[in-house]
Structure 1
């Protein structure tokens, strides 16, 4: 594939997103569809949301041109129904909060289109933990579980400025590299298009003047695309792995390494909620990014780049180990890392009441710094009249 195709898809997606997000911000402000802060929020003023709308139409354009570019890219048409379902559900959830069950049913409907295409079918684990061929019904169950887990895990990390975008960019860069090395150019181009859109969105998400959130509309769409790319990565033919710098049987562990941030954070908060006898989907401020901000006094940008940097470093280590180690040592490394991370964050007081007090105090300090509470002028002393 000519290199200029890669540039066209990346730059085209970037420009389309960058030029149209201000229009979305203007419409959201005009219709007052703002995200209002609450006790769990990391922002202190009304902020425009629905930034994920730009991801939807950018991907639809990309899929259209991919189909025009090469008629053999039959996967393109299978993405559109799933994207449309999640776009509608995410949009409604941003405007009128939906129940977790409603969103789960919609996600299951969306992923069914991807699972029905044969190129995503995982027929073998290629010796991972001694497992080779797997039956087709097990693929459907495992495939649905993998995609639903990734979609919801990515949705849950969208809690502070820049985090979901930065983690998404890191993941997409890795998958772009993998699919380029294996000559899966359809997935290279679709990953580049989404990455261009995320990078353009990030500049607004981190802005202090023209800020916008991606909302559930965006996080569900990006999570869906990442889950589809993950499934395709696991479904690559054995010959494709000859071009990759790790052993064939280590692919499932490499996939976990690529998605370590959303998967670890989701497992952690779900465990805490269940231990506290709450629903796994009940909202709180127990996420890893909240702990970094509340306990280490990091800014949103600092916490986001720290987590994104960790994600990239962890993948590099997993690839290095996966090139020589067998499953046992790679699994041992992965489990050890997760235990260490879990212990480190367990040491902090993440009770909701304590974190709530910290947040309220921090906001009060911020208001004082911003001059919200101005010093009242002294009343003039009454003059004595003799």
Structure 2
């Protein structure tokens, strides 16, 4: 009961703090002319305020102050330095673009604080693919690589209105449930805090007159928290899994299913860029959400909703399967799903020049349709006026 009351207060406080301060951020950004200018890759056509992630940072810091007593290994004091590093780097990247190398170094420093805390140490994979105990140095390699992948994967899906928020909300709901069931209340409250901020931000991100982007400031912070929660989930001791509705050995696959959207999208776009002899981090419009918008004609809201629902359904499917199936069978299924999804999206021609031509052609067709509709409307209006005039003459 005490946890429920605390969770409600944390959620309301985080939601209100984010919701009430984002308009202030918008005013400052507009006044200082720090808005995001659209380019040929952009999914928006108007100059839009960014830096929405600033609200995430201080909301998290405030929340960590109030929930710090529930962290058994003083995790809050290890999270704050990492958050601060990524906040500064993300803020600088939103204002003046920094190199991928500098961003990577900052991420490694932030991750080092988390790996140094004993609460996140993974001692065993609990029989996943017949792997049990793992040495500490291997944990550092696996944990560090995993966190880097998650942070950058989440950063890369922030390409259309609502997507990063919707996917983040789905992930946070799942982790809130997992950590509540395992009685890791500190991490459950951390998930609730981020969830509240994302929900408050989503309304502005989808707004037509008060729109704001979370920017790298926000995506790096949220991605960092997701990576922390994932590492903690995999570091849970065997007895904690007795309360979860899946087998202990299937935990790594459940973690992958929770993060399927950013991980699949990142792997896919990297493969496309490398196949086109480009750098993995070179910008383009090859992301899954761009395909849904450019090729399938969906709106930002529709694409975000579909991807978010897919993420949730995929996790539910793997949790159900993970309650009875052995991990080898689940691995085969996961690989099969990835191959099918890869085929569905790879069958399109993702050449940027071809994509640009198709987008320009679609815009041209829409303009022609608009002119035709306008001409037909004028003709109907003129015809109606002539008819009315003729009727008036007959009456006279």
Output the CA distance in 1 between the equivalents of 2:32 and 2:271.
Answer: 39
Output the CA distance in 2 between the equivalents of 1:51 and 1:42.
Answer: 18
Relative to structure 1, the CA distance from residue 73 to residue 370 in structure 2 (aligned partners, 3 Å threshold; closer, same or farther) is: farther
CA offsets 1:315-368 (integer angstroms, 9 cap, x no match): 000001100000111001100000000000011222101111233345567789
Question: How many residues end up aligned between the 2 structures?
Answer: 372
1:43 aligns with 2:44: yes
Alpha-carbon deviation of 1:2? 3.2
Alpha-carbon deviation of 1:256? 0.3
Secondary structure of the 1:125 match is: strand
CA offsets 1:146-172 (integer angstroms, 9 cap, x no match): 000000000000000000000000000
Relative to structure 1, the CA distance from residue 366 to residue 27 in structure 2 (aligned partners, 3 Å threshold; closer, same or farther) is: farther
* Residue 228 of structure 2: aligned partner: 228
* Residue 63 of structure 1: aligned partner: 64
* Residue 194 of structure 2: aligned partner: 194
Relative to structure 1, the CA distance from residue 333 to residue 109 in structure 2 (aligned partners, 3 Å threshold; closer, same or farther) is: same
* Residue 161 of structure 1: aligned partner: 161
Alpha-carbon deviation of 1:219? 0.3
* Residue 383 of structure 1: aligned partner: none
1:13 aligns with 2:9: no
* Residue 309 of structure 1: aligned partner: 309
Q: Is the 8 A contact 2:18 2:59 kept in 1?
A: yes
Equivalent positions of 1:374-385 (< 5 A) are none
Output the CA distance in 1 between the equivalents of 2:368 and 2:192.
Answer: 44
1:127 aligns with 2:131: no
Alpha-carbon deviation of 1:130? 0.4
Q: Is the 8 A contact 2:250 2:322 kept in 1?
A: yes
Secondary structure of the 2:295 match is: helix
CA offsets 1:203-257 (integer angstroms, 9 cap, x no match): 0000011000000000000000000000000000000000000000000000000
Q: Is the 8 A contact 2:73 2:119 kept in 1?
A: no
Relative to structure 1, the CA distance from residue 116 to residue 364 in structure 2 (aligned partners, 3 Å threshold; closer, same or farther) is: farther
Q: Is the 8 A contact 1:73 1:186 kept in 2?
A: no
* Residue 33 of structure 2: aligned partner: 32
Alpha-carbon deviation of 1:29? 0.4
* Residue 338 of structure 2: aligned partner: 338
* Residue 247 of structure 1: aligned partner: 247
Q: Is the 8 A contact 1:39 1:360 kept in 2?
A: no
| Uncovered stretches (5+) of structure 2, i.e. residues with no partner | 376-396
Output the CA distance in 1 between the equivalents of 2:184 and 2:37.
Answer: 43
Relative to structure 1, the CA distance from residue 238 to residue 40 in structure 2 (aligned partners, 3 Å threshold; closer, same or farther) is: same
More helix by share: 2
Relative to structure 1, the CA distance from residue 73 to residue 8 in structure 2 (aligned partners, 3 Å threshold; closer, same or farther) is: farther
Equivalent positions of 1:273-292 (< 5 A) are 273-292=273-292
* Residue 380 of structure 2: aligned partner: none
Output the CA distance in 1 between the equivalents of 2:193 and 2:84.
Answer: 17
* Residue 218 of structure 1: aligned partner: 218
* Residue 352 of structure 2: aligned partner: 352
Q: Is the 8 A contact 1:66 1:73 kept in 2?
A: no
Output the CA distance in 2 between the equivalents of 1:366 and 1:188.
Answer: 48
Relative to structure 1, the CA distance from residue 370 to residue 237 in structure 2 (aligned partners, 3 Å threshold; closer, same or farther) is: farther
CA offsets 1:65-98 (integer angstroms, 9 cap, x no match): 112x447461011110000000000000001111
Q: Is the 8 A contact 2:254 2:318 kept in 1?
A: yes
Secondary structure of the 1:321 match is: helix
Output the CA distance in 2 between the equivalents of 1:237 and 1:140.
Answer: 18
Relative to structure 1, the CA distance from residue 368 to residue 41 in structure 2 (aligned partners, 3 Å threshold; closer, same or farther) is: farther
Q: TM-score, normalised by structure 2?
A: 0.91
Q: Is the 8 A contact 1:234 1:251 kept in 2?
A: yes
Q: Is the 8 A contact 1:153 1:266 kept in 2?
A: yes
CA offsets 1:182-201 (integer angstroms, 9 cap, x no match): 00000010110010000000
Secondary structure of the 2:183 match is: coil
Q: Is the 8 A contact 1:92 1:98 kept in 2?
A: yes
Relative to structure 1, the CA distance from residue 61 to residue 292 in structure 2 (aligned partners, 3 Å threshold; closer, same or farther) is: same
Q: Is the 8 A contact 2:171 2:258 kept in 1?
A: yes
Greater gyration radius? 2
